């Protein structure tokens, strides 16, 4: 009895803690419900994106037509010679910047610095919107200038277009939803909704945002670089 009380007061770490968490007749995850549920959602989203990327792996391996040269297709010219993949590199840096501002927003949220939290959330949403804007430019360039379609393109394997629109489209949808979600959270913080409730919501929104950045890490590597 006294031992159990001691355990619940100071939970042990590591494998002993893992066993304690799962075997005690109480909740398993010692985090707010919203955070646990966000993690469950992100795990399911991981499955969706992995299915897309595995489908990409399969069509890329099985198509006998040559894969279009991404580096040159996504090149951009600023007056001079085209710089390979530069637009995608800038998009990557924009998304990493937004991830950093989100981490700061979470930190200032727990410090209960409402003004800085809102500012950093808005900065994150701004960089997210910038990313989506650049993606819209990338799509229109590919569709209008390069003639890439989901069913074919002038360069090589037609699957290139299907994978491109599917994967980057679904990721862009996540970024767009994230921007709306962040602005909604910022507005509720501004209204004082979390003053008594606590600022876990910023960390939960942050988890979603970092996940979107995480997915881009894999898309950047597998679709654009390899």
Looking at residues 77 to 116 of the shown chain, list those that interact with other proteins (rule: CB under 8 A): 77, 81-85, 89, 92-93, 96, 99-100, 102-104, 106-107, 110-111
Candidates 4, 72, 173, 180; binder of other proteins (CB under 8 A) is 72
Q: What is the dihedral of CA 138, 144, 145, 147, to 10 degrees?
A: 100
Measured between alpha carbons, how far is 33 from 37 in angstroms, rounded to an integer? 6
Candidates 1, 5, 9, 144; binder of other proteins (CB under 8 A) is 9
Q: Which residues contact 201 (CB under 8 A, 6 or more apart)?
A: 34, 109, 185, 188, 189, 194
Measured between alpha carbons, how far is 21 from 106 in angstroms, rounded to an integer? 26
CB of 142 to other proteins, least distance (A): 10
Measured between alpha carbons, how far is 76 from 167 in angstroms, rounded to an integer? 21
Measured between alpha carbons, how far is 86 from 94 in angstroms, rounded to an integer? 12
Q: Does 22 bind other proteins (CB under 8 A)?
A: yes
Between 138 and 213, CB nearer to other proteins: 213
Residue of 221, 188, 216 whose CA lies nearest to 92: 216
Q: How many residues bind other proteins (CB under 8 A)?
A: 84
Q: Does 47 bind other proteins (CB under 8 A)?
A: yes
Candidates 61, 78, 151, 191; binder of other proteins (CB under 8 A) is 61
Residue of 197, 212, 36, 209 whose CA lies nearest to 109: 197
Candidates 46, 158, 165, 181; binder of other proteins (CB under 8 A) is 46
Q: Does 170 bind other proteins (CB under 8 A)?
A: no
CB of 129 to other proteins, least distance (A): 20
Q: Does 140 bind other proteins (CB under 8 A)?
A: no
Candidates 116, 146, 150, 181; binder of other proteins (CB under 8 A) is 146
Q: Does 122 bind other proteins (CB under 8 A)?
A: no
Q: Which helix (H) or strand (E) holds 160?
A: helix 159-190
């Amino acid at each position: 009895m006294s031992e159990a009380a001691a355990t619940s007061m100071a939970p042990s770490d590591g494998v002993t803690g893992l066993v304690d968490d799962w075997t005690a007749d109480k909740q398993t995850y010692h985090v707010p419900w919203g955070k646990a549920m966000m993690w469950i959602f992100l795990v399911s989203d991981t499955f969706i994106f992995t299915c897309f990327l595995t489908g990409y792996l399969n069509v890329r391996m099985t198509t006998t037509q040559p894969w279009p040269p991404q580096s040159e297709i996504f090149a951009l010219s600023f007056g001079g010679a085209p710089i390979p993949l530069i637009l995608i590199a800038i998009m990557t840096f924009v998304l990493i910047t937004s991830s950093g501002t989100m981490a700061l927003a979470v930190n200032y949220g727990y410090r209960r610095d409402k003004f800085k939290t809102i500012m950093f959330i808005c900065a994150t949403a701004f960089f997210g919107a910038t990313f989506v804007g650049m993606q819209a430019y990338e799509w229109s360039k590919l569709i209008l200038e390069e003639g890439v379609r989901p069913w074919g393109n002038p360069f090589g394997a037609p699957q290139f277009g299907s994978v491109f629109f599917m994967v980057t489209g679904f990721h862009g949808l996540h970024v767009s939803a994230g921007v709306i979600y962040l602005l909604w959270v910022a507005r509720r913080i501004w209204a004082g909704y979390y003053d008594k409730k606590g600022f876990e919501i910023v960390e939960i929104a942050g988890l979603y945002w970092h996940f979107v950045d995480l997915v881009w890490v894999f898309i950047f590597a597998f679709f654009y670089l390899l």
